Amino acid sequence: MKEILSKVDMKPVAVLYAFADMNEEGESRTEPAVLMQVAAKVIPAEKIFAAHAHLPCERATVGTQEAWVVIRGLVEVDIYDIDDYPLECLGLRSGDCLLLLRGGHAMRTLVPTTLYEFKTGPYNGKEKDKRMIDP
């Protein structure tokens, strides 16, 4: 797990869960207060999770967070701080997960790529969802 910290307030802007770093020693999990919760786990064969349902929980959120999981391909991601200053360029490979907490980002696919994108909702259309950054 690699955290990219804001230079403005030293709080995480993004978190990379690299597939190559996963191991059976434990799991990497986001901090409890983060809106988009991610856990990276290596699960042994025949592990059983008892049938369950989640309890209702009222949530009030401000902002949008998203996560990408690369199924196959290769992606470069530019991470921007909360003041739009460029922080870092990350490479994502098959199996990697990037959690985008705040700030901004740009993405380039380097080869044909398939990925999942998860985003906190609701989604009200591009005009109400994005503010463009002038790199």
Using CA atoms, how far apart are residues 125 and 128, in angstroms rounded to an integer? 6
Task: For residue 116, tell me if it sits in a domain.
Answer: yes
> What pLDDT, in 10s, does the model give residues 27-69?
778 888 888 889 888 888 999 999 999 999 988 888 899 999 9
What tokens appear for 104 in the block?
A: 């901004």
List the one residue out of 20, 59, 58 whose CA is nearest residue 40: 20
Q: pLDDT-based confidence at 18, cuts 50/70/90?
A: very high
Say if 102 falls within a structural domain: yes
**Is residue 99 a part of any domain in this protein?**
yes
Rounded-to-integer distance, Cα 19 and Cα 123, Å: 29
Structural domains in the chain (count): 1
| Residue 29 is assigned to a structural domain of this protein | yes
User: Quick one: CA dihedral 120, 126, 129, 133, positive or negative?
Assistant: positive
DSSP element (H, E) containing 5: strand 2-5
Q: Dmax over Cα atoms in the chain, in whole Å?
A: 50
Query: Mean of the per-residue pLDDT values for the chain?
Result: 92
CA distance 94 to 97: 9
Contacts of 88 (CB under 8 A, 6+ apart): 4, 78, 79
pLDDT of 71-82, one tens digit each?
A: 999 999 999 999
pLDDT tens profile 85-98 = 999 999 999 999 99
d(CA 39, CA 45): 18
pLDDT of residue 98: 97
In which domain, by residue range, is 66 found? Answer: 2-42+62-124
Residue 131 belongs to a domain: no
> Quick one: pLDDT at residue 84?
97
Q: What is the mean pLDDT of residues 11-37?
A: 86
* Residue 47 lies inside a defined structural domain of this protein: no
For residue 121, what pLDDT band results from cuts at 50, 70 and 90?
Answer: confident
Instruction: Give the CATH number, domain containing residue 18.
Output: 2.60.120
Structural domain includes residue 81: yes
The answer as to whether 115 is a domain residue is yes
Residue 35: how many CB atoms within 10 A of its CB? 14
> Among 8-17, 48-57, 122-131, which stretch is predicted with the lowest mean pLDDT?
122-131
